[in-house]
Structure 1
Amino acid sequence: MDDNDTTVRLRLDIAYDGTDFSGWAVQPGRRTVQGELEAALARVLRLPSVSLTCAGRTDAGVHARGQVAQADIPAATWESEGERVARRLAGVLPKDVRVTGARLAPPGFDARFSPLFRRYAYQVSDAPYGVDPLLRRYVLWHRSPLDADRMNEAAARLVGEHDFAAFCRKREGATTIRELLRLEWERTDRYLLRGTIQADAFCHNMVRALVGALLAVGDGRRGVTWPGEVLGAAVRDSSVHVVGPEGLSLEEVRYPADGELAERATSTRRVRTLPCRGHSA
């Protein structure tokens, strides 16, 4: 793209079945959501390349109904192709990924840094016979019966702003302080539970580690205070099992009003710390 070209920013709303993808991010020699989308966009927009930035990178096998990404393209390209982008993408994308919306982003929009929160869902079956075959790509099987009330009691102790280092895979230079806004479970069918996990942002493996800890409470292997005790230690705990990706789906990314997008992005970029809670000798 010529640096002298006037560019516009697109917002893309995306859904995908993550089963056959090696995650969102482009990886050499692997099939990824980003790779498929960038190739398809370059084709339908007749551009040499298109670069996407998403709201939250999902791991291999994780699904999405509400992923959001942005792409900066020449204004002239959007003027000539914009109204047809979503329909034309439907003709070239593989069936396990869809662009459900494509539109100009408002000023200040940043897919990664502007969100107020991301909301995930996790589905678990505790059926003694295993998962319904028609749901096997989207539901984790747990071999023991689960008590949703115990799981919710334990989950309530984790809500709020904390250092979630105990439930994250540490990345160099990245904070593990997050504000967990919602963590709750409901039984949606006789043998099916659905967890809702909502936070301003998530660190690597955080959702699946939290689910793993709560499943251990739900089947009675751990007490309801255990996840909170693990959280308080603020160090990665090997006793926390990171569950499989198949039950996890990114359901929603919520952004503020258009006039607050830029301010939100600036605030999110700041390195977060927790207030001092005491003194050490």
Structure 2
Amino acid sequence: MTVRIFAADVLGGTPLVYDPATELTHVPGRHLATGRLLLDDAEVAAWPTTSQRQVATHLPFNICWSPLVRCNLECPQCLDDKTLTESGGADRERIAHILATCGTLGIDISGGEALLLRRLPDLLKSCASQGAAVSCTTNGWHLQRRAGELAPAVDAVRVSFDGPDAASHDHWRGSGSFDRAVAGVRAAVALNVPVQLHAVLMQSTAHRAQSVADLAAELGAVGVTFLQMLPIGDGANLAATEMINDADAERIVASVQAPDGVRVRLRTRELAEGFTVVRADGQVYRNVHGATDIQPTHPLVFAADLHLPVSEGAHS
């Protein structure tokens, strides 16, 4: 039995449990207290999942916060807008407080490269202070060095992989990236931090999906999330040659035989539609047009600035 942190609450009259590793939201099979809870991950995985559009609530289930655009790598499939101006430290503290108190179940700190933030552990602790489950998404380059300080502050780490070996992964992310990411995952797992591998499904990488799942098992990760490519940011330049349609993405992931202890899922563009992102400029953004674009809504000043129209979350 593996026990780890999840977040539980009742939104729109529906009891929910959010998994910070898989980013999935479940409907619990028994009564639970609310807030951050230690639960058996096998029990949670057996509960049915639900999506934002199936629950009538204005609160996003989970939010991605990208407080910086800086990164030590230059991946051609990157989603970020590198022209944005980064907010300063005081503004980051303000945003962390708003996210912590807005009522969302999960907060993921991403980038750019999240581990370039010196105060990342403090920001994670602030975000978790009112009951949310917190994670960070990283390319893994600095994870081995920072795993010790992250372990007390984070509920899960998501590490990006574009292949199961140095040749395939480094083709996209640069020399040494694979070895650094592997060392980082091993360091986090050794400290009992749940790790989820993230792999973008592209025409050039999809044939290695099974090997990525096998790598997850070898490294002790709890699972793999295969992400349908979003033609956003630098990734727009690859869309014509690398995007995979919905049916093929589902077929590829369905063909993956999950190793023991590893849960495999596909995050479709449909699930990414309407997802809430707070970017480095302090504005609230949402994925639109089938998650083929992202648009700003307004600056994040109050918790209500994160709210969705209830009609977006009320389709059963």
The bucket for the TM-score relative to the shorter chain is under 0.3
Larger gyration radius, structure 1 or structure 2: 1
**Normalized per residue, which structure has more helix?**
2
Q: Relative contact order: is structure 1 or structure 2 higher (C-alpha 8 Å, sep ≥ 6)?
A: 1
